[in-house]
Amino acid sequence: MSGKGIVHLVGAGPGDPGLMTARALELIARADAILYDRLIPPGALDGARADCDLRYVGKEPGNAAMAQANIDALLVELGRSGLEVVRLKGGDPFVFGRGGEEAEALAAGGVAFEVVPGVTAGIAAPAYAGIPVTHRDAASAVAFVTGHEDPEKGSKDSASMQNPSRAESALDWDALARFPGTLVFYMGLKNLPLIAERLIDAGRDAREPVAVVRRGTHPDQETVTAPLEQIAQRVAAAGLRAPTITVVGAVAGLRDTLAWVERRPLHGRRIAVTRARAQTSGLAARLRALGAEVAETPAIRIEPRAVEGELARAVAEIAGYALVVLTSPNGAQLLFDALLASGLDARALAGVTVAAIGPGTARELERHGVRADVIPPRSIAESLAEELEGVEVEGRRVLIARASEARRVLPDALAARGAEVDVVALYDTVAEPLSDAQREALAAADAVTFTSSSTVRFLLEALGSDRTALDGARAVSIGPVTSATAREFGLEVATEATRHDIDGLVDALIEDAAR
């Protein structure tokens, strides 16, 4: 609790988690309580504190979890009790979000509040459909309109003109038809036939382009376009369901040339990522940026070893090794943790030749101020063994610091050349159980990625005897060792990366999607 109460009215954006603002994420991470709506992005609350009071107050069409008056009262009550409260809403809080009413209630109740604008669906959904809502040649104005109200209610001289508080509930169809620019309708799906009819009756061009965008900015976004006179029929035929944004205006025609979401190489692909949760985010973000829907189904978890016994000894004597080999980004990170824990730092490696398997491992070393001397062209142990042939190891000490379970290729190759090899475990790779939701996400996936033998082994272990969740997914492997493990366990490998690192895996997924 932070002393003086405040309520933040926060926009969470239209659905793509990447469109949440930095301010929104910061406040979610800090809040004592969060009251949230239905249309917030998936994972929007992931950053909330473990002890945060999370309350769902959304409104399903026709089935409100909590009436608006009660939400207003609850916000005032929580604010008064001294809490820092986030009121999280889809899109922007002040665009058809009833944020205005909530702010009024807070003002009347004497509770401090702050507004954090969000990316509103009326701009974002068209943008993701390749439609700019304004354009120098096609629209110099844009109107945001609610399509929720009964269109029978509105007319030029209705209450909306005299009574601004009713402005949302009675539309002036003549004015809308004459409006010199783009019309963007929120909440308008059910009324689409009437909206189109009213606009045409009031003089809007029946051939004007219209686009209806469903679940804009989500991976399963859908768009239907047609002239105004046909749009209702086409949307019905396509079976679109809410939530949708309807864009009426010449700009809707620009989609033909500007559609970009559908052109991304992994558009429409559902890809499961099985590597450790701590490592999924980078890969997942890249796949999402390429258009994929990513299911995070970590099969493994990294458990660092305590710095004691042979690990402590190896670290204390690290300057005495002629060669130190790191085989994964985790290993590189944990070696530095161990160095620091032992009162050492990068200088301990000053006279040591350092080898790294994989660009990610090399990057992790660089983050700690050490540039690897040897990086093999292919990110597998065999390639490193070859590459190290130029390094003098006979009679010298070599440290291979890596996972507890790993292949013997490298230690054997170096020992055969007369090196005195210490293989030390920095961490254990352990199984991560699969939740029912993850099992379902896996079953829906088009492709499942394996980035190491342990991801194969532990995923199959987590699935147990029922492997049907993998039936519809193409297995994509990072390299020959992982593929061999997959085959050993009876999995058919659809594609293997040519480069055995994350870039190579992403390329393999793109090629696989193009087939």
Q: Which residues are catalytic?
A: 37, 59
Size of the site for ligand SAH (CB under 6 A): 24
Q: How far apart are alpha carbons 267 and 287 in whole angstroms?
A: 10
Q: Give min distance, CB of 14 to ligand SAH, in A.
A: 4
- In the list 32, 84, 92, 102, the residue contacting ligand SAH (rule: CB under 6 A) is 92
**Minimum CB–partner distance for residue 173 and ligand SAH (Å):** 19
Question: CB of residue 213 vs ligand SAH: minimum separation in angstroms?
Answer: 6
| Binding-site string for ligand SAH from residue 13 to residue 32, where x marks contact by CB under 6 A and - marks none | -xx-----------------
Contact present, 381 and 410 (Cβ < 8 Å): yes
Q: Considering the rule CB under 6 A, would residue 91 count as an interface residue with ligand SAH?
A: yes
Contact positions with ligand SAH (CB under 6 A) in 209-228? 213, 215-218
- Compare residues 141 and 242 and give the one whose CB is closer to ligand SAH: 242
Q: Which helix (H) or strand (E) holds 87?
A: strand 84-89
Backbone angles phi, psi at 243, to 5 degrees: -90, 140
Contact between 242 and ligand SAH by CB under 6 A: the answer reads yes
CA Rg value for the chain? 29
Site string for ligand SAH, 119-148 (x = CB under 6 A): -xx---x-----------------------
Question: For residues 178-197, which are near ligand SAH according to CB under 6 A?
Answer: 186-187
**How far is Cα 58 from Cα 287, in angstroms, rounded to an integer?**
30
Closer to ligand SAH by CB, 244 or 429: give it. Answer: 244
Question: Residue 341: enclosing H or E segment and its boundaries?
Answer: helix 329-341
Q: Counting contacts by CB under 6 A, is residue 95 touching ligand SAH?
A: yes
Cα 132 from Cα 182, distance rounded (Å)? 10
| Residue 90 near ligand SAH by CB under 6 A | yes
Which region among 158-166, 241-249, 406-414, 500-508 touches ligand SAH (by CB under 6 A)? 241-249
Nearer to ligand SAH, 219 or 358 (CB): 219
The answer to whether the peptide bond before residue 265 is cis (omega within 30 degrees of 0) is: no
Smaller CB distance to ligand SAH: residue 96 or 321? Answer: 96
Q: CB nearer to ligand SAH: give 92 or 496.
A: 92
- CA–CA gap between residue 141 and residue 134 (Å, rounded): 6
b/e map 419-455, b = 16+ CB within 10 Å: bebbbbbbbebeebebeeebbebbeebbbbbbbbbbb
Nearest to 335 by CA among 322, 326, 348, 343: 326
Q: Is residue 329 at the binding interface for ligand SAH, with CB under 6 A as the rule?
A: no
Distance CA 165, CA 513 (A): 52
Length of the chain: 515
Task: In angstroms, give the least distance from the CB of 215 to ligand SAH.
Answer: 5
Apex 270 CA angle, 266 and 274, nearest 5: 110
What CA dihedral angle connects 370, 502, 294 and 129, to 10 degrees? 100
106 binds ligand SAH (CB under 6 A): no
Partners of 427 in the β-ladder:
304, 403
Residue from 36, 96, 321, 450 binding ligand SAH (CB under 6 A): 96
Applying CB under 6 A, the residues found at the interface with ligand SAH are 14-15, 39, 89-92, 95-97, 120-121, 125, 186-187, 213, 215-218, 242-245
